[in-house]
A = this chain, B = another copy of it.
Amino acid sequence: MAAADQPGKAPARSKRADALRNQQALLTAAAEVFVASGVDAPVREIAARAGVGMGTIYRHFPTRADLVVAVYRHQVEACAEAGPRLLAEAPSPFEALRGWVDLFVDFLVTKHGLAEALRSDGGFEALHAYFLERLVPVCAELLGAAAGAGEIRPGTGAYELMRGIGNLCAGRGDDPDYDPRRLVGLLLRGLRRSPEA
């Protein structure tokens, strides 16, 4: 359902040279276009910038979500791996959770339009699925640790929290009167068992 054959970075797998070259070109072009115009940029624009035809882009990345996933795979991976590390390093599970959430929020607000793509209503099911598959377990671990330490109230699931955070980060990021980080902070605070120091 997702990316057919791990269209990751370097050696995709035993295919023709031109195919590999084009796949790489598409990844590069998509990354550029995404920062310039957001993840909703016209398919044609990406194809044109990569110097390939429409057929090629759809052959390599059947859905837009596949392309987005491929482009941001590294960062999602980094975010996933940061979870256990923070848990080990931070002074408390809740602090680890807070740190991880900061990372996640940074990631989302940095990529124009990513947060809205993350919600499930669009045609980005694959993206939604991948993000959640990879990150929900990490978040769940952090949440569980914090709950185990008695730092937060139970009852909120990792999926719910992540989607809430994603939602809070959606919309134009250049609004001086709307700071997603502040609201996410409030959300986390609402999760705490006792008030802040």
Contact = CB atoms under 8 A, between A and B. Distances in A.
Interface of A: 113, 116, 119-121, 156-157, 159-161, 163-164, 167-168, 170-172, 175, 177-179, 182-183, 185-191, 193-195
B116 A186 contact: no
A186 B116 CA distance: 21
A168 B168 CA distance: 6
Given A195-B194, A195-B195, A182 B160 contact: yes
A159 B187 contact: no
Contacts of A179: 160
Question: Nearest 8 CB-CB pairs, A to B?
Answer: A190-B190, A186-B190, A189-B190, A119-B171, A164-B183, A167-B167, A121-B172, A120-B172
Contacts of A190: 185-191
A160 B183 contact: yes
Contacts of A172: 119-121
Contact of A156 (B157, B163, B186): B186
B164 A168 contact: yes
Nearest to A161: B183
B195 A177 contact: no
A167 B187 CA distance: 13
A177 B159 contact: yes
A187 B183 contact: yes
28 contacts: A116-B116, A116-B119, A116-B121, A119-B170, A119-B171, A120-B172, A121-B171, A121-B172, A156-B182, A156-B186, A159-B177, A160-B177, A160-B178, A160-B179, A160-B183, A161-B183, A163-B178, A164-B168, A164-B178, A164-B183, A167-B168, A183-B187, A186-B187, A186-B191, A188-B190, A190-B190, A193-B195, A195-B195
